[in-house]
Structure 1
Amino acid sequence: MAQAQVAQAKENSYDYFLANRQLIRNGVQSLLTCNGLFTSRRNLDQVFEQELAYLGDRALGDASGGPYTVYPRERAVSVGGDEHGPAIISAFRKGIGCVVMTPEMSLSDINSLPKLEMPYSKTDPRTLNWPNGDANADMPIPAALNADALQAASDWAFDRPTEEQDTLSLLVIHKGKIIHERYAEGVDQTTRTRTWSTAKSIAATLIGMRVDSGKMTLDGPLDIDWAPKLPGGQDPRDAITLRHLLRMSSGLYPVDSFNMEYATGSGLSYWAGASSVDGARNRGLVREPGSFWDYENYDTLLAVKAFKNTFASDSAYREFPRKRLLDRIGMRNTLLSTDRFGDFILSSQVYTNARDLGRFGLLYLNNGMWDGEPLISEKWIEFSRTPAPASKPRGYDYGAQWWLVPDSRKKEVPADAYSTAGNRGQYVIIDPSHDLVIVRRGLDYGKQGFNRWDLLREVLKAFPE
Structure 2
Amino acid sequence: MKYSLTSLLTAGFATTLSATAFASEETQTTLNAYAAGYKANFTCSAVFNAGKSTAQIEEDELTGIYPLIADAVHQLDASINTQQRWVRVAYDDGKRERYSVWRPRLGCVDLPVGAGADSIKKVHRPFTKDTSAQPDSGAPWQHHNGVNQATGNPRLDAVIKQAFSKHYGDGARTSAVLIATPDKILAEHYKQGFTPETAQRTWSVAKSIGASVIGAAVQQGIVTTKQKAGLENWSHPLDPRQHITLENLLHMSSGLDSNKAGNRTDRVYMGGGLVSDTATETALEVEPGSRWKYANNDTMLALRVLREAMASEEDYVKFPYTSLLDKIGMRHTFLETDWQNDFILSSQVWTTSRDLARLGVLHLQQGEWQGEQILPGNWLDYISEPAPAQPPENAPGYGAQWWLYNERFPELPDDTIAARGNRGQFLLVIPSENLVIVRRGYDLAGQQGFSEHDFARDVLRALKRD
Whole-Å separation in 1 of the counterparts to 2:296 and 2:464: 40
Q: Counterparts of 2:63 and 2:258 in 1: how far apart (Å)?
A: 27
Residue 14 of structure 1 and its aligned partner are, at CA, apart by 5.5
Q: Does 1:244 align with 2:259?
A: no
Residues 165-196 of structure 1, C-alpha deviations (whole Å, 9 max, x = no match): 21111101035210111000111111011111
Q: Which moved more, 1:326-335 or 1:75-84?
A: 75-84
**Superposition pairs for residues 228-267 of structure 1, below 5 Å?**
233-255=237-259, 257=261, 261=264, 266-267=265-266
Kept in 1: contact 2:86–2:100 (CA 8 A): yes
After superposition, the Cα gap between the structure-2 partners of 1:47 and 1:119, relative to the gap in structure 1 and judged at 3 Å, is closer
With the length of structure 2 as denominator, give the TM-score of the two structures: 0.87
Residue 118 of structure 1: how far off its partner (Å): 5.1
**Which residue of the partner structure matches residue 216 of structure 1?**
223
Q: Is the 8 A contact 2:252 2:292 kept in 1?
A: yes
User: Aligned pair in 2 of structure 1 residues 315, 234: CA closer, same or farther (>3 Å)?
Assistant: same
The count of corresponding residues between Structure 1 and Structure 2 is 437
Task: Report the equivalent of 2:213.
Answer: 206
Query: 2:398 is aligned with what amino acid?
Result: Y
Q: What is aligned with 1:373?
A: 372
Give the percent of matched residue pairs that are identical in Structure 1 and Structure 2: 34
Q: Which has the higher contact order (CA 8 A, sep 6+)?
A: 2
Instruction: Name the stretch that deviates more: 19-28 or 243-252.
Output: 19-28
1:328 aligned residue: 327
Which 4+ residue blocks in structure 1 deviate beyond 6 angstroms? 120-126
- Equivalent positions of 1:294-313 (< 5 A) are 294-313=293-312
Greater Cα offset, 214-223 or 151-160 = 214-223
Residue aligning to 2:34 = 24
Counterparts in 2 of 1:437-452, with a 5 A limit? 437-447=436-446, 449-452=449-452
Alignment of structure 1 residues 8-407 onto 2, 5 Å: 15-19=24-28, 20-55=30-65, 58-60=70-72, 66-83=76-93, 86-117=96-127, 119=129, 130-131=139-140, 136-139=142-145, 147-160=153-166, 164-226=171-233, 233-255=237-259, 257=261, 261=264, 266-391=265-390, 393-394=392-393, 397-405=397-405, 407=407
Q: For the structure 1 residues 122 and 415, does the alpha-carbon distance in structure 2 shift closer, same or farther, using more than 3 Å as the test? A: closer
The gaps in structure 2 that reach 5 residues or longer are 1-19
Q: Which secondary structure state, in structure 1, belongs to the residue aligned with residue 105 of structure 2?
A: coil
Q: In the TM superposition, what is the alpha-carbon distance from 1:373 to its structure 2 partner?
A: 2.1
Q: 1-side partners of 2:325 and 2:138: how far apart?
A: 16
CA distance in 1, matches of 2:249, 2:442: 28
Residue 120 of structure 1: how far off its partner (Å): 7.0
Counterparts of 2:208 and 2:34, CA distance in 1: 25
What do you get for the CA RMSD once the two structures are aligned?
Answer: 2.8
Of 82-91 and 11-20, deviating more is: 11-20
Change (3 A) 1:71 1:121: closer
Quote the offset at 1:26 in angstroms.
Answer: 2.0
Matched AA of 1:422 = G
1:255·1:296 contact (CA, 8 Å) conserved in 2? no
For residues 133 and 200 of structure 2, the distance between their equivalents in structure 1, rounded to whole angstroms, comes to 24
Q: Secondary structure at the match of 1:70?
A: strand
1:435 CA displacement: 1.3
Counterpart CA distance in 2 for 1:298 and 1:122 is 29
Give the letter aligned to residue 338 of structure 2: D
1:52–1:59 Cα contact (<8 Å) kept: no
TM-score, scaled to structure 1: 0.87
Contact 1:269 1:276 in 2 (8 A): yes
Matched residue type, 2:250: L
Report which of the two structures shows the higher radius of gyration computed on alpha carbons.
Answer: 1
Counterparts in 2 of 1:413-452, with a 5 A limit? 413-447=412-446, 449-452=449-452
